[in-house]
Amino acid sequence: MRGPAWRALLLVVALAVVDLATARFVVEKNSLQVTSPDELKGKYECAIGNFGVPQYGGTLHGWVQYPKSNRKACQSFDQFDISFKPKAAGGRPNFVLLDRGDSVFRKTPLQELLTYPRSKSLLCYAYYATVFTTKAWNAQNAGAAAVLVVDDKDEPLITMDNPEEGKEHLENITIPSVLIKKELGDKLKKSAENADMLSVLLDWRESLPHPDERVEYEFWTNSNDECGSKCDMQMDFVRSFRGTAQVLEKKDPEQDFSEGYDGKDVVVQNLHQICVFKIANETGKPWLWWDYVHDFALRCPMKDKKYTPECAHDVIKSLGLDLEMINKCVGDPDANEDNEILKAEQDAQDTFRGRVCECPIVKGVKFVGDGYTNCEASGIGRCEINNGGCWKETKHGKTISACLNEQSEGCKCPAGFRGDGVKSCEGKKASTAPVGWSFLWVIFFGLLFAGVGAYAVYKYRLRSYMDSEIRAIMAQYMPLDNQEGANQHHVAHAEDI
């Protein structure tokens, strides 16, 4: 009797542990915003996968594609000749929509014991993790920028964890992956199958907790050091992040933000370096700048609280440079006026020397160009921003544009128009003046030849008609002459008789 009682007690304890673990499990979520089509527009929740690289604090905008085959991504997409890479360079990235798929459990005695539904999600966890990483790896190799996995049943969102087995792809997955609910996934799949332009924005900005307007983080860890690659990755992170975390958590050493060095002190010392370079070149000793930078770094470090103008002056004197000329070049740092040296440095940033400019991404549309004088919208959706830099005109309530969304770049005048497509597109005229007169002369001579030809045909047919009439008239008399001759011949024979 005690055996069954203990088994029943073990079952109750096991179920209680499962309920407790499930209640305390926190699913990390981010938002998914559908921007097109209109009938699906809105913001939805999705669960962040525990592998790959989520773009915390940022967003990612892309087009959603639902593959025609290999929809569970259990195999490489190369076998199906499927690619999710953007068609044009700099185009908006593509997200791949995948099915979660069916599950086959490898049962253990405990799994056989806990067979009721509420434990099922917890027990399926390790199996699905392996499938999730395989899906993400195959999608990444096919050029996808993110993976949207559709749940196969209506249930609360869970975290797609990294697997205990099959870790060959884990460290190489660099794209983010999220799990979305079945209801939303079915709508997205239907829209994709209808060839709708399905645009989605993944937003991780709200994934960072900041209840009191401060950026905060949570670090989930345990003391186990024999759990495989998870434990190794955890300790590697602790070693690399420890110094940064300690600095962030410690109080200000001086307890006064006015103490220590600030940006102004750095600017003043940078100004000293520039002036040393300038004076050294003017005095024919440009190599002294290298000695000054080296000696100042050794003799005037911040940690020794020697990062001061006085220490800089001592270094300048030791090198035999004229301190008065350098002080005159530096000027008064506290003066309320522009410093000519620093202004020249700022002006140099507005040239190709010392400035790196990149074209931005606006409303999900990538701009391409040199970043200095030219940035043009490129890829799908470019016509929505300034009409892609192309010509357009509105007449009688109808807008005509030289921008084509099907093309990643360039402008082309529509049918019936001609021009450069950028500044102007004009409707094609019938002809210009010289071409018009030539065309009229062609018509005139054509009509003339046609008239002459028609008159010749008319004369020919009239002559033929008159000839036929004459023959008909003459044919009426010819038989009478023959009959009269025959009668006379007959009479002659009669007289002879």
Span 135-149, pLDDT tens digits: 999 999 999 999 999
- The class of domain 18-207 in CATH terms is alpha beta
Three-class SS state of 104: coil
Cis peptide before 286, with omega less than 30 degrees from 0?
Answer: no
Taking residue 316's Cβ as centre, other Cβ atoms within 10 Å add up to 23
The two structure tokens encoding residue 300: 């005037």
% pLDDT > 70, the chain: 76
Name the residue among 333, 188, 317 with its Cα closest to residue 263.
333
Mean pLDDT along residues 399-412: 80
Q: Which two tokens stand for residue 216?
A: 């905060």
Residue 423's pLDDT band, with cuts at 50, 70 and 90, is confident
Please enumerate in sequence order all residues whose Cβ is within 8 A of that of 148, keeping only pairs 6 or more positions apart, or say none: 32, 46, 64, 95, 96, 97, 98, 178, 180, 185, 188, 200
Spell out the residues 6+ positions from residue 82 whose beta carbon is closer than 8 angstroms to its own. 67, 68, 69, 70, 142
> Which one is predicted more confidently, 60 or 473?
60
Q: Which of 60-74, 155-169, 444-458 is the most confident on average?
A: 60-74
Buried b / exposed e along 69-88 (16+ C-beta atoms within 10 A): ebebbeeebeeeebebebee
DSSP state of 395: E
Domain boundaries in the chain?
Answer: 18-207, 222-252, 263-348, 361-427
Do the strands 398-401 and 392-395 form a parallel or antiparallel pair, or are they unpaired? antiparallel
